[in-house]
Amino acid sequence: MRTMTIHSFSALLMWLLWLPLGVPTQAVAQSAGLTPLEVLQRVENKLKQVAAAEVRFSLRDASGNSYPGVLCLQGDCFRLTTEGVITWFDGKTQATYLQASQEVNLSEPTQEELQSIHPYAWLSIYQQDYRLKFKEENKGGKQHVVVLTATKSNQDLLCMILFINKQNDLLERMSLAYRGGETAVITIQQFKEHSKPWPAAMFAFDAKDYPDVEVVDLR
């Protein structure tokens, strides 16, 4: 799998991973009486109260190759580390370090561009671009399985299947299917919420730490 493909999958993870904190335990346990939309609306309301978090995950591509990743989140800011790529976003400026080319690209992404990297982008996506349903054959299992299916055939992400643990409300796994046949499975290995905010330096590229890279300013 190409490095940038890994990065794009991992970026998608950022706006899905907040699901573990989105549904209170009692609500998840009783979600059989709710629609998938109602469950996600509860998630949306809860997200406003979420503190900083660190997520460790692995991504498996269609060929069976696995890649580790670490994601640090706080509000609109994030730092994403995957194989050969580090991305910082401080709420305005995005910096992407590409190890293979020893290059850092600086940009100020538009709202549309942030759709693929913003931790909260899924809040608009699930209401506008996807049909929601519970996976019926999974009733009685240990996980709630929510299926999101694209309403337009030209959407890049055609289907998402989210596996949420009923006992601890944690998103344990997600399966992604893209137009063109590409697929991926993301498994959450550790989700750690932080009571104190990350230092601002966590989300900003510091040129002093990368003295030999070429900085390309695309702003």
Query: Does 214 reside within a domain?
Result: no
CATH of the domain at 80: 2.50.20.10
- 64: alpha, beta or left, given left = phi > 0 and alpha = psi -120 to 50? left
Q: At residue 27, does pLDDT exceed 50? A: no
Query: Does 182 reside within a domain?
Result: no
The tens digit of pLDDT for each residue in 184-199 reads: 888 989 888 888 899 9
- 206: alpha, beta or left, given left = phi > 0 and alpha = psi -120 to 50? beta
Query: Does 39 reside within a domain?
Result: yes
Query: Does 209 reside within a domain?
Result: no
CA-CA distance, 148 to 124, in Å (whole number)? Answer: 13
Query: Does 100 reside within a domain?
Result: yes
Query: Does 20 reside within a domain?
Result: yes
Query: Does 174 reside within a domain?
Result: no
Question: Which residue range is the domain that position 58 belongs to?
Answer: 3-129+190-204
Read off the DSSP letter of residue 16: H
- C-alpha distance from residue 35 to each of 28, 124, 153, 204, 218 (Å): 12, 17, 24, 40, 44
Query: Does 66 reside within a domain?
Result: yes
- C-alpha distance from residue 165 to each of 28, 89, 175 (Å): 9, 30, 15
pTM across the whole model: 0.75
25 burial level (CB within 10 Å; 0-12, 13-18, 19+): exposed
Evaluated on CA atoms 60, 66, 67, 71, the torsion sign reads positive
> What tokens were used for 26?
């009692």
The tens digit of pLDDT for each residue in 92-146 reads: 999 999 999 999 999 998 765 665 555 455 555 666 778 888 886 555 677 778 7
Mean per-residue pLDDT over the chain, rounded: 76
Q: By mean pLDDT, which of 30-34, 107-111, 158-162 is the weakest?
A: 30-34
CA-CA distance, 54 to 38, in Å (whole number)? Answer: 27
> What tokens were used for 117?
């990297």
Q: What is the count of structural domains for the chain?
A: 1
pLDDT at 122: 56
